[in-house]
Amino acid sequence: MQNVTILGATGSIGVSTLDVLARHPQRYAVYALSAHTRVDVLAAQCRQFRPQVAVVGNAQDAQKLSQLLREYKLSTTVAYGPEALCAIASAPGCDTVMAAIVGAAGLAPTLAAARAGKKILLANKEALVMSGQLFIDAVTANQATLLPIDSEHNAIFQCLPADYQRITAQHGIEKILLTASGGPFLQRAVDTLEQVTPAEAVAHPNWVMGRKISVDSATMMNKGLEVIEAHWLFGASAEQIEVVIHPQSVIHSMVSYADGSVLAQMGNPDMRTPIAHALAYPQRVASGVAQLDLCRIGQLNFLPPDFVRFPCLQLAYDALRAGGTSAATLNAANEIAVAAFLDGRIGFRAIDRLIAQVLDLVPATPLDDIDSLIAHDERVRALSTEQLAA
């Protein structure tokens, strides 16, 4: 029996994870659930899955959740705040941590899970983008297990040798081909992107995702962050990671080998597939996802990315090549810009302009430790907010 903590239980990844867990009650139990503000949803999840601990963002929400759980006659312990997130991610009673908190807020609890030697199902790409080698070192030093949940990275993982150790040359790997749907604006005239609304940006054609990640998909910053994540997960250089637009989202990514072979992982676009794969690895369990019907799909299309249409993708490659704190700068500026866009304070194309401006203003420095990384993240967020007001 695996005891699972879900960080970000009320988001799309958290909900999909609970759906998979519910299909296999003999294999999995829920140790802890967390949510930031969606108390009613979290209470309903606690009623169904009966975790030992539930964590929310603040004291007021904790009080509300406690009242709801008393009404349900549940003995679940309620806690709140960042320290409580780290506690449920590293608790002795937890075996597996689904790291699905969006953005930089997920770094500390995910790192706590690594330091505690947990099995980490990584859906929070920003944690690895920000901390890079520091996170990989924590996983290695504490013999934690790191399994990617992003559909693309999970696909790559499935296409790599079982004994792969982040050295491409040892296994004849030429390239990692990271597929991208192209988002909702793949065919939209570039000169009309200034007029994109938040409602249009979050309407992804293939995937059901949260608002922030949906905007990242529309700008292709999501793919840029995935390029950086792939570098750290698989030890591939920027030159070895190629983005391929694949509108159908059926091939989730590929690995190209020196002998000319290209291995691809395919499936319907549903996050329960990579979640089930990682939960059961190295075994396989039912995910609830329908089997792929290639005859119904009919054809698969592939295009190179347009860096004029998607400048955020180029910014991510630039940050990866610059190294040091550049990826953390990119991520922080992007989170501020996307929040401003969703709040209606800036236009869609102002997102990439703000990120480029902040990258120009903040020089890359070596990434020494987590405390200095967090301080750097806070400085970049403050600077990005200042630039918005300028």
CATH of the domain at 100: 3.40.50.720
The pLDDT, as a whole number, for residue 135 is: 94
Give yes or no for residue 204 having a pLDDT over 70. Answer: no
Residue 312 in any domain: the answer is no
Q: What is the 3-state composition of the chain as percent helix, strand, coil, each rounded to the nearest 5?
A: 50, 15, 35
Residues 129 and 26 in one domain: yes
Residues 144 and 158 in one domain: no
pLDDT digits (tens, 9 = 90+) for 148-184: 999 999 999 999 999 998 899 999 999 999 999 888 8
Instruction: Summarize the confidence of residues 374-384 as an average pLDDT.
Output: 95
Residues 19 and 96 in one domain: yes
Entry pTM: 0.91
DSSP state of 292: P
Residues 183 and 161 in one domain: yes
Residues 155 and 300 in one domain: yes
Distances (CA, A) of 369 to 134, 137, 231, 324: 7, 11, 19, 11
Residue 311 in any domain: the answer is no
Residues 113 and 185 in one domain: no
Give yes or no for residue 208 having a pLDDT over 90. Answer: no
Chosen domain end from 148, 167, 190: 148
Q: How far apart are CA 164 and CA 49, in angstroms?
A: 36
Chosen domain end from 148, 182, 210: 148
Structural domain of residue 327, as residue ranges?
323-390
Residue 318 in any domain: the answer is no
Chosen domain end from 107, 122, 148: 148
Count up the domains in the chain and report the number: 3
Residues 55 and 144 in one domain: yes
Helix axes 370-389, 326-342, angle to 10 degrees: 40
Residue 315 in any domain: the answer is no
Residues 108 and 138 in one domain: yes
Tell me which H or E stretch contains 4. strand 2-7
Residue 69 in any domain: the answer is yes
Residues 348 and 377 in one domain: yes
The pLDDT, as a whole number, for residue 43 is: 96
Higher pLDDT: 105 or 33? It is: 33
Q: What is the CATH number of the domain that holds 359?
A: 1.10.1740.10
Q: How far apart are CA 313 and CA 173, in angstroms?
A: 23
Contact predicate 132/230, CB 8 Å: no
Residues 210 and 137 in one domain: no
Residues 195 and 280 in one domain: yes
Q: How far apart are CA 61 and CA 79, in angstroms?
A: 10
pLDDT digits (tens, 9 = 90+) for 245-296: 999 899 999 999 999 999 999 999 999 999 999 999 999 999 999 999 999 9
Residue 36 in any domain: the answer is yes
Residues 368 and 297 in one domain: no
pLDDT digits (tens, 9 = 90+) for 40-89: 999 999 999 999 999 999 999 999 999 999 999 999 999 999 999 999 99
Q: How confident is the model at residue 356 (pLDDT cuts 50, 70, 90)?
A: very high
Residue 177 in any domain: the answer is yes
Residue 199 in any domain: the answer is yes
pLDDT digits (tens, 9 = 90+) for 315-355: 999 999 999 999 999 999 999 999 999 999 999 999 999 99
Question: What is the overall mean pLDDT for the chain?
Answer: 93
The pLDDT, as a whole number, for residue 201 is: 85
Q: How far apart are CA 343 and CA 340, in angstroms?
A: 5
